Amino acid sequence: MTQSKKGISGLVNKQVFYPPALLLVAVVVFGAILPDQLGVAANGAFSFCIKYFSWFYAMGVGALFVFVLWAGLGRYGDIRLGGADAQPEMSFFSWFAIALTSGIAIGIVFYGVAEPLGNYTNPAGFTGLEPRSAEAAEGALRTVFLHWGLHPYATYTAFGLFIAFLYHNQGKSFKISTGLYPLLGEKVNGLAGNLIDALCIFSIVAGIGTSLGIGAMQLGAGMGYVMGSTMDSVLLLWFAIIASMAVFYTVAACTGLHKGIKIISNLNVYIYFALLLWVFLFGPTLYILNNTSSALGDYLSSLTRQSLYLEPALQTGWVGGWTIFYWSWWLAFAPMVGLFLVKLAKGRTIKEFVMVNFFAPSLFAVVWFGVFGSAGIFMEHFQGIAISEEISKFGTEVALFAFLKNLPLPGILNIMGFLAIVFSFVTLAESMTLTLANMTSSSYESTTDEQDAPNLLKIFWGAMMAGMAFVLLMSGGLKSLQTAVVVCGLPILLLGLVMCVGFVKNMKLATGEIKPAPAANATVSQSFSKQDLQPDH
């Protein structure tokens, strides 16, 4: 039956689609009518989470980090997703490009210069570092690596691992709640599973709103800054940018994974590499190498202490406002990004899955911030170029362009910067649009059904994410975007920790380390085969 004959009601899994869709519509309407109140509500929720649950964020994300290391480097690492004979569906480079850009979003471009400079000009109070000192210059990247390195990608990879084996090797449904199947069995197809899926759908749309809103502000402010005009990022301009990008990523999603998404992801990675190479070669090359090496050593040697430190006596609020916010931000994206990563992983081993989705993007983040952050700090500390003053005057949105104008061929670099911003968002949004549509479609249930979700669903979710972005901007700009995301991170973290238990139980059952309960024997025998479990050597 065609899409036009069915209508959207006939295309969706109603239990998964309608709860988050209706809630999102309600939030959009509420934000449009009472934008200030939405900002107040988001701020209140943010403060509550920081005050009472910072400890849970710190230890919970740390637990996911350890889990990913164990899964990738342990005895299950050689098991091939899809069975021993499964073949990858794309080249290694395309897999890496899509995996990297679908999770990295726009933040790495937005904060690549701004956050290291912020740590240099205004270091966290608990560090005891003097602003703009040599010590602050050397310590600026350490915290950036914490916020953008191993821990964030552990959340994405963990949620992918929870579902990958169940989906590819056992034929379970393509949805987040599948990760609880080892613990709940068929109950995941009932109310409990639907509520979990609804929460994750709501959180990713709010998270995409954050990223798209940041992109709209950065593009708007960047245009005004580069053109030397007094143009501000007003609502009309933001709306035009958001609408344009929404059309772009929705069309790309409608072309499918192996066409538009792969092409744009590859282009995005080429732009990243070109910008990195240019800054490295024509910036302070030796300082970049020395500073990145020193910061990486500092980061790795203090990783446990940094990731768990919550300043219990000092209570400056810095850790809550930065580190815990970052954990919440990444967690809001983690279930849906992890689910998308599952779709890319057929024919790969669990070890390869961890390498590409955890280690590789973490290394890329170190290189990106090492190059851009070190170069920005060098310009400020040694050359007296006041990039931070430009940021103070025009906003964080202009940081990239205030930096690029100090390098050779700034005009070309500005164009590449704009493309990096657009493609960085589009690659995330198109992958999430596709995943949302697949997850809520009534015809996309298992590995044996490779039919893509209807385009009408992709258009709906693409428009919904754009609407959320604009409403959140109306309700108070970036601050409301940030605080709206943090609320979803808390229950998602709890969900992830429970799924860790389910993963361990499932793998032990699958490999015969433990025996299934008698009542579950029939189900288990239908779900596994020795070929599915055979490690690939």
Residue 106 CB neighbour total at 10 angstroms: 26
Dump pLDDT digits (tens) for 379-415. 999 999 999 999 999 888 899 999 999 999 999 999 9
Q: What is the mean pLDDT of residues 326-334?
A: 91
pLDDT at position 521 is 43
Dump pLDDT digits (tens) for 180-204. 999 999 999 888 898 899 889 988 8
Angle, CA 376 vertex, CA 372 and CA 379 arms, to 5°: 140
Q: What is the mean pLDDT of residues 194-221?
A: 83
440: amino acid identity, one letter:
T
Q: Is 497 exposed, middle or buried (0-12, 13-18, 19+ CB in 10 A)?
A: middle
Gyration radius from the chain CA atoms: 23
Name the residue with tokens 């901007």: 473
Domain boundaries, the chain: 11-73+87-503
pLDDT at position 181 is 96
- β-bridge mates for residue 265, sequence order: none
**Per-residue pLDDT at 520 exceeds 50:** no
DSSP 8-state assignment for residue 535: B
pLDDT at position 257 is 75
Could you give the CA distance from residue 378 to residue 512 in angstroms, rounded to a whole number?
Answer: 57
The more confident residue out of 302 and 18 is 302
Residues whose CB is less than 8 angstroms from the CB of residue 128 and which lie 6 or more positions away in sequence, other chains included: none
pLDDT band at residue 30 under the 50/70/90 scheme: confident
**Per-residue pLDDT at 423 exceeds 50:** yes
For residue 260, the SS3 value is helix
- DSSP states of 147-162: HHSHHHHHHHHHHHHH
Could you give the CA distance from residue 18 to residue 23 in angstroms, rounded to a whole number?
Answer: 8
pLDDT at position 530 is 45
| Signed CA dihedral, 195, 435, 445, 520: sign only | negative
**Per-residue pLDDT at 536 exceeds 50:** no
State the pTM of this model. 0.91
Q: What is the mean pLDDT of residues 72-78?
A: 95
Q: What is the mean pLDDT of residues 18-34?
A: 80
**Per-residue pLDDT at 446 exceeds 70:** no
pLDDT at position 7 is 59
The more confident residue out of 536 and 97 is 97
**Per-residue pLDDT at 304 exceeds 50:** yes
| CB-based contact 340:139 (threshold 8 Å) | no
Cα-based distances in Å from 479 to 42, 321, 416, 517: 9, 11, 27, 50
Angle, CA 59 vertex, CA 208 and CA 39 arms, to 5°: 35
pLDDT at position 76 is 96
Structure tokens at 330: 């990444």
pLDDT at position 6 is 54
pLDDT band at residue 535 under the 50/70/90 scheme: very low
Q: Which CATH number does 11-73+87-503 carry?
A: 1.20.1740
pLDDT at position 450 is 52
Could you give the CA distance from residue 308 to residue 55 in angstroms, rounded to a whole number?
Answer: 8
pLDDT band at residue 158 under the 50/70/90 scheme: very high
Give the relative orientation of helices 360-381 and 134-148 as an angle to the nearest 10 degrees: 160
Residue 231 CB neighbour total at 10 angstroms: 13
pLDDT at position 3 is 47
pLDDT at position 448 is 42
Q: What is the mean pLDDT of residues 321-349?
A: 93
Cα-based distances in Å from 125 to 1, 131, 139, 169, 294: 62, 10, 13, 50, 21
Structure tokens at 454: 């209807």
Phi, psi at residue 523, to the nearest 5°?
-65, -45
Strand segments (E) across 300-385? none
Q: What is the mean pLDDT of residues 66-92?
A: 94
Q: What is the mean pLDDT of residues 54-69?
A: 98
For residue 312, the SS3 value is coil
Dump pLDDT digits (tens) for 487-504. 889 999 999 999 999 999
pLDDT at position 46 is 83
Residues in the chain: 537
Residues whose CB is less than 8 angstroms from the CB of residue 343 and which lie 6 or more positions away in sequence, other chains included: 174, 257, 435, 438
Structure tokens at 163: 């579902």
Provide, rounded to the nearest whole percent, the portion of the chain with pLDDT above 70.
Answer: 90
DSSP 8-state assignment for residue 347: T
**Per-residue pLDDT at 441 exceeds 80:** yes
Structure tokens at 185: 């069995």
3-state SS, one letter per residue, for 66-90: HHHHHHHHCCCCCEECCCCCCCCCC
The alpha-helical segments, DSSP class H, found in 129-190 are 134-148, 150-168, 181-184
Residue 312 CB neighbour total at 10 angstroms: 9
**Per-residue pLDDT at 445 exceeds 60:** no
pLDDT at position 449 is 42
The more confident residue out of 388 and 126 is 388
| Signed CA dihedral, 521, 527, 531, 534: sign only | negative
Provide, rounded to the nearest whole percent, the portion of the chain with pLDDT above 90.
Answer: 55
Residues whose CB is less than 8 angstroms from the CB of residue 201 and which lie 6 or more positions away in sequence, other chains included: 16, 20, 336, 436, 439, 440
3-state SS, one letter per residue, for 226-243: HHCCCCCCCHHHHHHHHH
Question: 142-156, 290-304, 365-379, 412-426: which range is least confident on average?
Answer: 412-426
